[in-house]
Structure 1
Amino acid sequence: MSATVPAAPPHPPAWGADAYAEALRRGRGPLYLRRTDGWLLPLDVARWCAPADAADLAALRRCEGSVLDIGCGPGRLVAALTAPGRRVLGIDVSPAAVARTAAAGGAALCRSVFDSLPEEGSWGTALLLDGNIGIGGDPRALLARTAALAHRTGLLLVETAPEDVDERARVGVAGDPYADHHTAVTFPWARVGTSALLRYADAAGWTPVERWTATEPGQSPSAARRFVALRRCRSLPTARRG
């Protein structure tokens, strides 16, 4: 049974905005996702622009076959997988991120995960790290889409929020936390903890196979990065249209 994938949301124009492109050029923040009520989520641009760290590499060692990095950003994961010769493709809606990935020697396309993509249904592993389970603001739709992209027994590696949260909101990209947020371009985003991810994953045809955390030396356990490996091991559900 094939999945009925919800219509693609429009590309978030803010990810191509000056604040994000400038942060990638500098290789550091400050940069935030800001909700319409003013709440700020700091984005770790310096880590994204650095080489893959120990937590990243622990996740990447679990990859199988060809890898699709969804929301690849400046391409550290693509570069880390490309170096030993693994076949990998990054996708991102930001031209600046795609250009930086290419400059690092990685293959990347400027596309949304909801666009038509190469080799749909055959990727051995898909990545949704660095909070990218939030793409599109609808985790169930995103998980259904990744199931359609992956091989019928493919693997999905997801990084979840450190808190037990299941939140959907409209956000904008901000380089200045004090700028007028009422004029910012916004787009839908989600924050999903492990419990919520597992609920959405089951509905989208994914089964959990492993969970782990990664903590830097001297870091509080509450700040640990949290990961879940999921496997596509049954037919995809058909989404109902209301």
Structure 2
Amino acid sequence: MNRVPAAVVPAAHGSWTREPAGWRADPYTAALTTGQGPLYLRSREGGVVPLGVERWCAAPDAADRTVIARCEGTVLDIGCGPGRFVTALALAGYRTLGIDVSTAAVHRTVRHGGAALVRSVFEPLPREGWWNTALLVDGNIGIGGDPDALLTRTADVVAPGGLLIAEVADGDVDERLDVCVDDGRSDHTHGGHGPAGQGRARADDGGFFPWARLGARALVRHARATGRWSRQAAWELEGRTFVALRRKRERPAPSLPGPVPPPSG
């Protein structure tokens, strides 16, 4: 398979997905720089969800490899973070692109040999409607705090008959919450776009941004509600749960266009 050329392309000028200058020293960026936590998503109510920074910055583990083994054709990693899936898939010969609004995450992905863009899933993307597989792992089904909107948008990006692999929370969870990124080392909160970089922070609201948490049953329920996805499989390994969805062929797939240019802003 041909590979997408490695590139770092910023979002359009003025877009809310651009990384604020003051966020370049936030806890998420610092954690990516060192490859170490601790790092959390902290809700307004004070609850915390630990983030696996060390795992994200390492080579794919056994659970990750079950995801890689199920990928088909071209792969878009939504909220790619430091890029372990992007680089592993590229080495395996897949045509793969990661997107993330964190500049630090995208630069780390490219340094390790992956192709990545500074981009939100809700912005225009290269090859929309032609990706064979999309990934929403490491809790990225929470992006934007609106699973229906995210699943609908992902269906626009993936080709008819394409695959979405999502990692979900344990148990029967279906919740919306406002969170901020926190390293647990100070009393003040840290704003930003979140660990996967796709949600919009509220600059006047203490850095909190909308997020969602879904279990497997909730994900399938929301996916079916869009009318564009059907459940294909679910599996667990090492305490992590994944669900594969198949995009319905609601219209005939058009023929593949001509040569694909490199990603551009």
Q: TM-score when scaled to structure 2?
A: 0.79
Report the identity percentage: 56
RMSD: 1.9
- Deviation at residue 202 of structure 1 after TM alignment: 0.5
Q: 1:72 is matched with which residue? A: 80
Structure 1 runs not aligned, ≥5 long: 1-8, 216-223, 237-242
1:126 aligns to 2:148 (yes or no)? no
Q: 2:58 is matched with which residue? A: 50
Q: Distance in 2 between matches of 1:161 and 1:208?
A: 17
Deviations 1:186-227 (A, max 9, x none): 111000001110111102211011110002xxxxxxxx1000
1:188 aligns to 2:210 (yes or no)? yes
- Deviation at residue 163 of structure 1 after TM alignment: 2.4
Give 3-state SS (helix, strand or coil) of 2:108's partner: helix
Q: Distance in 2 between matches of 1:91 and 1:76?
A: 13
Q: 2:163 is matched with which residue? A: 155
- Deviation at residue 84 of structure 1 after TM alignment: 1.6
Q: Distance in 1 between matches of 2:24 and 2:115?
A: 19
Q: Work out whether residues 181 and 189 of structure 2, in 8 Å CA contact, stay in contact via their aligned partners in 1.
A: no
1:209 aligns to 2:224 (yes or no)? no
Q: Distance in 1 between matches of 2:120 and 2:25?
A: 16
- Deviation at residue 98 of structure 1 after TM alignment: 0.2
AA at the equivalent of 1:206: W
Q: 2:117 is matched with which residue? A: 109
Equivalent runs, 1:1-242 vs 2, <5 Å: 10-11=16-17, 18-176=26-184, 178-181=186-189, 184-204=206-226, 205-215=228-238, 224-235=239-250
Deviations 1:28-68 (A, max 9, x none): 10111111122111101000000011110111110111000
Q: Work out whether residues 38 and 51 of structure 2, in 8 Å CA contact, stay in contact via their aligned partners in 1.
A: yes
AA at the equivalent of 2:207: V
AA at the equivalent of 1:11: T
Q: Which moved more, 1:66-75 or 1:175-184?
A: 175-184
- Deviation at residue 234 of structure 1 after TM alignment: 3.8
Q: TM-score when scaled to structure 1?
A: 0.86
AA at the equivalent of 2:170: P
AA at the equivalent of 1:154: G
Residues 177, 38 of structure 1: alpha-carbon distance in 2 compared, 3 angstrom cutoff: farther
User: Which has the larger helix fraction?
Assistant: 1
Structure 2 runs not aligned, ≥5 long: 1-14, 191-204, 252-265
- Deviation at residue 179 of structure 1 after TM alignment: 1.7
Give 3-state SS (helix, strand or coil) of 2:36's partner: coil
Number of aligned residue pairs: 220
